[in-house]
C-alpha cells in the first residue's frame, strides 16, 4: 500500500509547484488504484493548511468539492489507536504532529509514504514524490 502525504494534494492543486504533474497523477490514481490510499490525517492537515493560508470558507468548500470525487470514502484510511500511540512516541522524539500521524500509520500498515519529507523518511519507508 502507498499512502499520500499532504504535499501530494498541495502539489496537485498548485500548477506552479515543482511536483505538480506527478502529484496530479498520484491524486488521480487514488480513486482508481487498489494500492494507493490517503490517511484521514492528511485531509485534516490540508484543511488546516488552507485555513492558515486564509482560504475563505467558500474557497475551502469549493476545493473539497473538487477533491471529493478523487477521494472516495473507501480510499481514506482512518487512524487507529495503536497508530496514535506510536505517533505520541514519535512526537516525544521531536517529530511534528502530522508527520508523526502519517509515519505511525505507515509503519502499522507496512505502507510506503509518497513524500519528500525527510522526517517521515527517517522512520518509515517512503518514495519521493517525483517517482511513479
What are the residue boundaries of the structural domains of the chain, listed by start? 2-127
Averaged pLDDT for residues 59-69? 96
pLDDT at 132 over 90: no
One DSSP character per residue, 40-93 reads: HHHHHHHHHHHHHTT--HHHHHHHHHHHGGGS-GGGEEPP-HHHHHHHHHHHHT
Averaged pLDDT for residues 21-44? 94
Counting Cα atoms < 13 Å in the Cβ hemisphere of 101 gives 18
Q: Which of 130 and 76 is assigned the larger pLDDT?
A: 76
Chain centre distance of CA 65? 18
pLDDT at 78 over 70: yes
CATH code of 2-127, in short, is 3.40.50.1010
Rounded to the nearest integer, the mean pLDDT of the chain is 94
pLDDT at 111 over 70: yes
Amino acid at each position: 500500500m502507498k499512502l499520500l502525504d499532504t504535499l501530494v494534494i498541495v502539489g496537485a492543486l498548485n500548477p506552479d509547484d515543482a511536483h505538480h504533474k506527478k502529484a496530479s497523477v498520484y491524486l488521480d490514481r487514488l480513486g482508481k488504484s487498489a494500492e494507493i490510499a490517503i490517511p484521514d490525517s492528511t485531509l485534516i492537515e490540508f484543511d488546516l493548511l488552507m485555513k492558515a493560508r486564509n482560504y475563505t470558507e467558500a474557497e475551502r468548500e469549493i476545493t473539497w468539492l473538487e477533491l471529493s470525487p478523487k477521494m472516495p470514502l473507501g480510499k481514506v484510511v482512518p487512524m487507529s489507536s495503536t497508530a496514535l500511540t506510536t505517533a505520541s512516541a514519535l512526537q516525544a522524539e521531536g517529530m511534528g504532529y502530522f508527520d508523526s500521524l502519517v509515519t505511525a500509520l505507515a509503519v502499522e500498515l507496512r505502507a510506503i509514504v509518497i513524500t519528500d519529507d525527510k522526517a517521515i523518511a527517517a522512520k518509515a519507508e517512503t518514495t519521493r514524490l517525483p517517482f511513479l
